[in-house]
Amino acid sequence: MKRHLCLLLLLALLLAGCDGGLYSGTLIFEGEHSFGPGTQLPGDVFVRAGTAEFGAGSQVAGSIYMLGGSLTVNGTIGGDLALLGGSLVLGPQAVVDGDLRLGGGEVAGVETAVIHGDIINGSGVEIPASVMAQRQSWDDCLRALSAALLLAGLGALLVRSRPQPVIRMGAAVVDNSLVSSAMGLLILLVLPALLVMMAFTIILIPLVVILGMLLLLLLGYGWVAVGHQLGMWLNRRLNQGLSTAVATFGGTLLLLLLFEIPYLGDGLLAVTAVLVLGAVFLTRLGTQPYIPDTFKDEPPDLSSYARQKR
């Protein structure tokens, strides 16, 4: 019964992530494509390679994501226009209702196009002082503190009810940090490529969103495990005699607050994310302890081995 409920919940999440229960999009891999004045595309457009031209009067209801190739836009885009690679030309009648996101490639005609949103340049543009002040506002600090308190509280409740999975993951991070980091790096190398391939299938984009949320949950689970180890270590060092739940709450809260330190926090966050991802998979979500493989018997004698000659 529980398995059926989980399947129904997953199906509901998939349908909830789609517009009207079905995702619509256009994928351009190669060739030359021309969309005239009467063109009305209902979903997003992904340009991987080839040449595409949207003439005056054409409309795209969603966003355009460009990873390569050549694109000329002289129509209306209902969402964002994101350029990660290739060549983009905006005509004098081009209208972008969302943001223009420039992460790479070449772009021309921005001055004559109508951009209702913001122009976001991810390739070394200077950040205004007002934006920096906004990022360091009290509202952001309160939101970060609220999220840290929430995760720390959930971690304390989790340790109080089921401490063993958290202990196993934390032990994998501390006792087998090299193996955990290697596994975490492997996951971070493979997972983004897998998600991009799934996103290109269009219909699996809602599943990509769900997997991204699942990845965040796994990171939070791993941070609680590291926070538990940190809290217990501080408890022993300071000789406070705190309970396991209280030590986990304090250690997790301290760890998340360390992530907010400028410059240093980003590096600490990256290292911890790699370690906890590896530990989560090594311990099977904490269901079993990670025990490194060792030679229990004498290694085999290969002195009599000889390669067969052809």
- Please give the residue range of the domain that contains residue 101: 23-122
Q: Are 50 and 156 in the same domain?
A: no
User: How do residues 261-270 score in pLDDT, each as one tens digit?
Assistant: 888 888 899 9
The 10 Å CB-count burial string (b at 16+, else e) for 8-44 is: eeeeeebeeeeeeeebebbebeeeebebeeeeebebb
Of 93, 122, 151, the residue that ends a domain is 122
Of 95, 122, 149, the residue that ends a domain is 122
pLDDT value, residue 141: 77
Number of domains in the chain: 2
* 304 has a pLDDT exceeding 70: no
* 138 has a pLDDT exceeding 80: no
Task: Kindly state whether residue 172 falls inside one of the protein's structural domains.
Answer: yes
Distances (CA, A) of 209 to 29, 31, 66, 102, 216: 23, 30, 19, 22, 11
Q: Are 250 and 161 in the same domain?
A: yes
Task: Kindly state whether residue 104 falls inside one of the protein's structural domains.
Answer: yes
- DSSP for 178-215 reads HHHHHHHHHHHHHHHHHHHHHHHTSTTHHHHHHHHHHH
Other residues' Cβ atoms within 10 Å of the Cβ of residue 285: 14
pLDDT value, residue 122: 61
Over residues 64-71, the mean pLDDT reads 88
Token pair in block for residue 305: 């081995």
Task: Kindly state whether residue 267 falls inside one of the protein's structural domains.
Answer: yes
Q: Are 163 and 208 in the same domain?
A: yes
User: How do residues 216-272 score in pLDDT, each as one tens digit?
Assistant: 888 999 999 999 999 999 999 988 888 999 999 999 999 999 998 888 888 899 999
Task: Kindly state whether residue 249 falls inside one of the protein's structural domains.
Answer: yes
Q: Are 269 and 147 in the same domain?
A: yes
Q: Are 244 and 272 in the same domain?
A: yes
Task: Kindly state whether residue 195 falls inside one of the protein's structural domains.
Answer: yes
Task: Kindly state whether residue 153 falls inside one of the protein's structural domains.
Answer: yes
Q: Are 143 and 278 in the same domain?
A: yes
DSSP alpha helix (H) spans, 201-303:
205-238, 244-258, 264-282
Q: Are 161 and 277 in the same domain?
A: yes
Task: Kindly state whether residue 239 falls inside one of the protein's structural domains.
Answer: yes
Of 89, 122, 155, the residue that ends a domain is 122
The DSSP letter of residue 303 is T
3-state secondary structure of 308: coil
Q: Are 57 and 102 in the same domain?
A: yes
pLDDT value, residue 302: 52
Return the percentage of the chain with pLDDT > 70, whole number.
76
Q: Are 160 and 34 in the same domain?
A: no
Cα–Cα distance, 34 to 54 (Å, whole number): 6
pLDDT value, residue 135: 46
Q: Are 143 and 95 in the same domain?
A: no
Q: Are 147 and 116 in the same domain?
A: no
Maximum mean pLDDT: which of 107-111, 137-141, 170-174: 170-174
Task: Kindly state whether residue 295 falls inside one of the protein's structural domains.
Answer: no
Distances (CA, A) of 6 to 11, 12, 156, 210, 291: 9, 10, 26, 14, 31
Cα–Cα distance, 113 to 94 (Å, whole number): 5
Q: Are 177 and 44 in the same domain?
A: no
